[in-house]
Structure 1
């Protein structure tokens, strides 16, 4: 059995690659999907598809609609959602994706450092599992396949 995992969270660090490499080394039967990681492409996909927009607000709106479409399709097809909240960047998209996973009834693993416990307490309470590290999230995933 292969599971599809949607990786929500900031796109500025390599946490997805770290998680994918570790899952591969553990031979976990997982397929990963997620948001567009090319920041410029994500920001300008509306104009790429629909043509030049009259200003930055319209450009953002066009890109947001297409990015939300992508997220909705990939998340609905996923078996599990992992949402990483990092320390450095604003996490609005991550919170939105985690909330969408909850609404869709998707099993949700939140990864967040201890110092974000308080601001994320309600969201963590609704998640299936909350951990502090990528390694802990991988251990949760590995446990799914553990037969011992």
Structure 2
């Protein structure tokens, strides 16, 4: 058995790469997907596909539509979603991805520091598991294969 894991969450720290590296070290049969991690590529994809847009709002809208298409497809093909919330950035995309996963009946592991409990309480209540570190999330997935 192999699981496809969608990694939603903050893009401004190396948590995804650390999690992927640890999964390889533990020899876990996991395939990872997630949002576009190249921030410039994500922001400019609308213009790359649809051409130059007349305003920054339209540039953002076209990129958003294409990124949402990508996200919807990858989320729907995932077996489980790990959503990481750090304390430095507002992470509306992460919350949206986790909420979408929940509506698709995908299991969600929410990673957040305890100090974010109140801000994420409704989302945490819908998740299958809430942890504080990526390593704890990976340990929970490793348990599935025992």
**TM-score bracket, shorter-length normalisation:** over 0.9
Q: Could you say which residue in structure 2 is the equivalent of 1:124?
A: 124
Q: Could you say which residue in structure 1 is the equivalent of 2:71?
A: 71
Instruction: Say yes or no: does 1:134 pair with 2:111.
Output: no
In 2, Cα distance between the equivalents of 1:13 and 1:133?
Answer: 13
TM-score in terms of structure 1 length: 0.97
Deviation at residue 135 of structure 1 after TM alignment: 1.0
Cα displacement string for residues 77-118 of structure 1 (whole angstroms, at most 9, x for unaligned residues): 000000000111111000000100100000000000110001
Q: Could you say which residue in structure 2 is the equivalent of 1:43?
A: 43
Find runs of 4+ consecutive structure 1 residues off by over 4 angstroms.
Answer: none
Deviation at residue 63 of structure 1 after TM alignment: 0.1
Q: CA RMSD in A?
A: 0.5
Q: Could you say which residue in structure 2 is the equivalent of 1:17?
A: 17
In 2, Cα distance between the equivalents of 1:49 and 1:14?
Answer: 28
TM-score in terms of structure 2 length: 0.99
Q: Give 5+ residue unaligned stretches, structure 2.
A: none
In 2, Cα distance between the equivalents of 1:119 and 1:31?
Answer: 30
In 2, Cα distance between the equivalents of 1:90 and 1:42?
Answer: 17
Deviation at residue 11 of structure 1 after TM alignment: 1.1
